[in-house]
């Protein structure tokens, strides 16, 4: 019987428990053991929205298969089993408990597409089993969880790709290459924004009975116990603090990721934020529909600005990043990128770059990159340490919003300086019987 990398890592972690030997091996050191099998077989946890999009992107790659699916909503699970059978001609096994899926024989890769509050537990459990992991963004629902997930990847030496797929989108990469060329001159500020007109108010609805086929207590998991309300379930979970961080961590992670990538910095010195439910003050959502956050870095500031229900973003774009330099500004979004020159008199300080359009292949490229890294042991385009830095920055924006004051950040200690109230938001609190994993 062939020994794959997952079995090797699992056995090694058991035999070296307590003495820390497993963390001494470099990432990718065992890639040749597992790669003897050409086909990569995945199991997917959380498969309604982006989890299913990620799974389809995985199956578009050659020599891939899905053998197991997991979702606490039996209605979603049964539909996705049929969907995957149509895609690959073979039905995967269905599970409602992710722990049972992790016991499924023959898996190589785990895809995690659950709500944010459910990323850390299956991620750490899968890492302990030696699986390579593709996990949706943001990495976690708290900064403390991000730190735990970083430690898990380091200890168990797995390949991870986090779903900030713009990292693998060519026109975004080309835009950052231009930023790094220095042609914009000194970049003094970076504007990041997301105005989403298609996202509307979440109307208040009464609590109700749990829908048939839904294990709602498991869906809540480590989050506080609450009666079932459809507003908190599926897509709209992102507007409630128990499960997510609103637009700041939803779109913010994508957009701010590229701002930090362009500036080669991942830890702000300070942050302050304000906003509120200005558009829909009486609706059911908890997170702000309007918010600005100002981040201080060495040598520049970064502005985050979002608005739900309108499309009035900067430079005529509903979302994007604007690198504001002394010689010009580069603007990039999912449609493409352009450079707008500054002028000295009538003379432009650099050559204008008209819109260069993207090809819309970011997610497919991201999954391709993940699989290539599994086979080679190389670092993927969005490894866990990058995702942790970006998610932590976004969470700091929300903590500043909640506390209503400027926060000063000590990245080395992962804590706010002299601010006990802010630091209470750093680490997660799990509902029993769930426990915060220790790595």
Nearest alpha carbon to residue 404 among 288, 298, 300, 297: 288
The answer to whether residues 184 and 350 touch, using CB atoms and an 8 Å cutoff, is yes
252-308 per-position pLDDT tens digit: 999 999 999 999 999 999 999 999 999 999 999 999 999 999 999 999 999 999 999
Q: What is the pLDDT of residue 18?
A: 39
Give dist(CA 63, CA 45) in Å, integer: 20
Domain boundaries, the chain: 5-167+367-389, 170-206+246-357+393-416
> With 70 as the cut, is the pLDDT of residue 9 above it?
no
Residue 3 pLDDT = 41
Q: What is the mean pLDDT of residues 55-69?
A: 97
For 91-112, how does the pLDDT look when each residue is reduced to its tens digit (9 = 90+)? 999 999 999 999 999 999 999 9
What angle separates helix 143-156 from helix 120-128, to the nearest 10 degrees?
Answer: 10
Q: Is the pLDDT of residue 30 over 60?
A: no
Q: Given this model, what pLDDT does residue 21 score?
A: 34
Can you give the pLDDT at residue 36? Answer: 40
404: left (phi over 0), alpha (psi -120 to 50) or beta: left
How far is residue 320's CA from residue 314's CA, in Å, rounded to a whole number? 8
What pLDDT does 5 receive?
Answer: 52
Predicted confidence at residue 428, as pLDDT, reads 97
Check whether 4 has a pLDDT greater than 60: no
Q: What is the pLDDT of residues 113-159, one digit of tens each?
A: 999 999 999 999 999 999 999 999 999 999 999 999 999 999 999 99
Q: Residue 301: its pLDDT value, please?
A: 98
Beta-carbon contacts of 130 under 8 Å, excluding residues fewer than 6 positions away, are: 5, 6, 7, 8, 9, 10, 13, 156, 158
Q: Report pLDDT for 112.
A: 98
Longest CA span, the chain: 75
* Residue 352 in tokens: 């204008």
In the block, tokens 């109700």 appear at 208
Distance, in Å, from the CA atom of 92 to the CA atom of 186, rounded to the nearest integer, reads 53
CA distance 190 to 199: 25
**Is 336:357 a contact under the CB 8 Å cutoff?**
yes
- As a whole number of Å, the CA-based R_g of the chain is 22
Instruction: Specify the CATH superfamily of domain 170-206+246-357+393-416.
Output: Dihydrodipicolinate Reductase; domain 2 (3.30.360.10)
**How many helical (H) and strand (E) elements, i.e. helices and strands, does the chain have?**
13, 18
What local confidence, expressed as pLDDT, does residue 80 receive?
98
pLDDT at 20: 38
pLDDT band of residue 38 (cuts 50, 70, 90) is confident
CATH superfamily of 5-167+367-389: NAD(P)-binding Rossmann-like Domain (3.40.50.720)
Q: Does residue 193 surpass a pLDDT of 70? A: yes
Average pLDDT, the chain: 92
């Amino acid at each position: 019987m062939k020994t794959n990398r997952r079995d090797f890592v699992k056995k090694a972690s058991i035999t070296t428990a307590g003495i820390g030997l497993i963390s001494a091996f470099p990432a990718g050191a065992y890639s040749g053991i597992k790669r003897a099998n050409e086909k990569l077989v995945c199991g997917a946890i959380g498969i309604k929205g982006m989890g299913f999009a990620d799974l389809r992107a995985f199956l578009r790659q050659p020599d891939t298969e899905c053998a197991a699916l997991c979702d606490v909503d039996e209605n979603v699970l049964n539909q996705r089993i049929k969907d995957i059978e149509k895609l690959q001609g073979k039905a995967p096994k269905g599970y409602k408990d992710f722990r049972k899926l992790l016991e499924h024989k023959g898996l190589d890769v785990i895809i995690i597409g659950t709500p944010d509050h459910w990323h850390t537990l299956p991620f750490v459990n899968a890492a302990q089993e030696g699986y390579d992991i593709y996990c949706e963004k943001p990495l976690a629902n708290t900064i403390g969880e991000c730190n735990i997930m970083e430690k898990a990847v380091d200890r168990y030496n797995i390949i991870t790709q986090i779903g900030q797929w713009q990292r693998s989108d060519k026109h975004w990469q080309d835009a950052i290459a231009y930023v790094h060329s220095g042609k914009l001159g000194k970049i003094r500020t970076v504007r990041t924004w997301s105005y989403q007109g298609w996202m509307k108010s979440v109307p208040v609805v009464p609590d109700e009975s749990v829908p048939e086929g839904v294990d709602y207590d498991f869906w809540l998991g480590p989050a506080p116990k609450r009666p079932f309300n459809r507003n908190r379930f599926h897509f709209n979970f992102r507007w409630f603090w128990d499960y997510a961080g609103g637009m700041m961590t939803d779109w913010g992670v994508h957009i701010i990721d590229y701002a930090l990538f362009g500036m080669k910095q991942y830890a702000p010195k300070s942050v302050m934020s304000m906003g509120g439910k200005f558009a829909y003050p009486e609706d059911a959502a908890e997170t702000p529909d309007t918010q600005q956050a100002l981040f201080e870095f060495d040598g520049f500031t970064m502005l985050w600005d979002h608005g739900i229900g309108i499309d009035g973003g900067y430079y005529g774009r509903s979302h994007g990043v604007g690198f504001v330099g002394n010689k010009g500004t580069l603007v990039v979004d999912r449609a493409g990128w352009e450079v707008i020159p500054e002028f000295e008199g009538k003379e432009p300080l650099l050559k204008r770059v008209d819109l260069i359009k993207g090809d819309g292949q970011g997610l497919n490229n991201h999954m391709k990159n993940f699989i290539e890294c599994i086979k080679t042991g190389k670092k993927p385009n969005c490894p866990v340490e990058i995702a942790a830095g970006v998610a932590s920055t976004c969470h700091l924006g929300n903590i500043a919003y909640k506390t209503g004051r400027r926060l000063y950040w000590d990245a080395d200690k992962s804590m706010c300086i002299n601010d006990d109230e802010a630091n209470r938001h750093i680490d997660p609190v799990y509902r029993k019987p769930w426990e915060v994993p220790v790595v």
